[in-house]
Structure 1
Amino acid sequence: MDDMGLRDKITELLPKTSLFGGVDSEEIDAFAKTLKEKSYSAGENIYEEGGSPGDSYLLLEGDIKLTVSDRRVAKFGPGTVFGVAAPIGIQKQVVTATADTDVVVAVIPKMTFYLLSEENPKLFGKLILNVARDLARAVSGMGEIIHDFILLEEEDHL
């Protein structure tokens, strides 16, 4: 994809993501200019469970599957931002992200959020608040999973 096509695709998809909720078009355009395209072949890992925190990604084309202990836990298509929590939390990756088909991603370098905190604190604040909301939703979802697990354990002991 040429640079203009890449930027157009990114600026089309970013406003549809939860990460960019409440972010205006000028901020999105400025952010899009910092991203680079990268392709992965089907079956290729983008990052691995237990790996060091790295870049984040906006999926432009194809499908990604997420696995934990070699078990699929999610699958998604274009327009999804993924891999954000590990670099922000400076934590190891909790899942493996694998190209389920040939994919094209826009790479969000791991230093982007740090640089934004200094260069554009207003945009940084919006993005971090959106990340916090997404993580809160994920924690809430984990509560349901834990509850279901406890019920299964209790049934096994009856």
Structure 2
Amino acid sequence: MSEKQLEDKIIELLPKTSLFGGVDLKEIHFFVESLVEKRCKAGEIILKEGESPGDSYLLLEGEVKLTVRDRRVDKFGPGTVFGIDSTIGIQKQITTAIAATDIILAIIPKMSLYTLSQKNPDLFSKLILNVARDLARALKGMERIIEDYVLLEEKHLL
């Protein structure tokens, strides 16, 4: 996929991609310059639970499944950014991401966020705020799981 095709695909996915909330087209053009396309076959592991943080990914085409301890916990399609939480947090990967179908990814190199912070701090701020919002939503989603766990513990079922 050419840089122009990659850019067009990302612009097409903007409404589905929380990472780019509040980001204008000029900023998208700037950001796309740092992305690299990667194609994976169904069954290929993209990132592995317990590994050191690396690049992040924007899913352009296909489906990816996430597993924890070999159990599927999620499945998602185009427009999803994943792996960025480990990169920002400098933490080991908490999931394994596997191509559920043949996929096309835009790789967000781990150093691109640092470079972006130097070259375009306004865009960097928008992206980090969007990541923080996504992480806050995910944390809020854990509330029910924690409540269920507490109830089981109170009933002495754990």
TM-score band, normalised by shorter chain: over 0.9
Q: Deviations over 1:100-127 (max 9, x none)?
A: 0111100000011111111101011111
Residue of structure 2 in register with 1:30 after alignment:
30
Residue of structure 2 in register with 1:85 after alignment:
85
| Deviation for aligned residue 1:36 | 1.0
Relative to the length of structure 1, the TM-score reads: 0.94
Contact 1:15–1:23 (8 Å) recurs in 2: no
Where structure 1 has 5 or more consecutive residues not aligned to the other structure, the ranges are none
Letter of the 2:113 partner, please give it: F
Residue of structure 2 in register with 1:102 after alignment:
102
User: CA RMSD, aligned part only?
Assistant: 1.6
Residue of structure 2 in register with 1:57 after alignment:
57
Residue of structure 2 in register with 1:13 after alignment:
13
Q: Deviations over 1:17-72 (max 9, x none)?
A: 11111111110111112211101111111000010101111101110000001111
Letter of the 1:43 partner, please give it: G
| Deviation for aligned residue 1:15 | 4.9
Relative to the length of structure 2, the TM-score reads: 0.94
Where structure 2 has 5 or more consecutive residues not aligned to the other structure, the ranges are none
Letter of the 1:64 partner, please give it: V
Letter of the 2:72 partner, please give it: R
Letter of the 1:51 partner, please give it: E
Shifted more, 27-36 versus 5-14: the winner is 5-14
Contact 2:62–2:77 (8 Å) recurs in 1: yes
Residue of structure 2 in register with 1:119 after alignment:
119
| Deviation for aligned residue 1:156 | 4.7
Residue of structure 2 in register with 1:146 after alignment:
146
SS at match of 2:30: helix
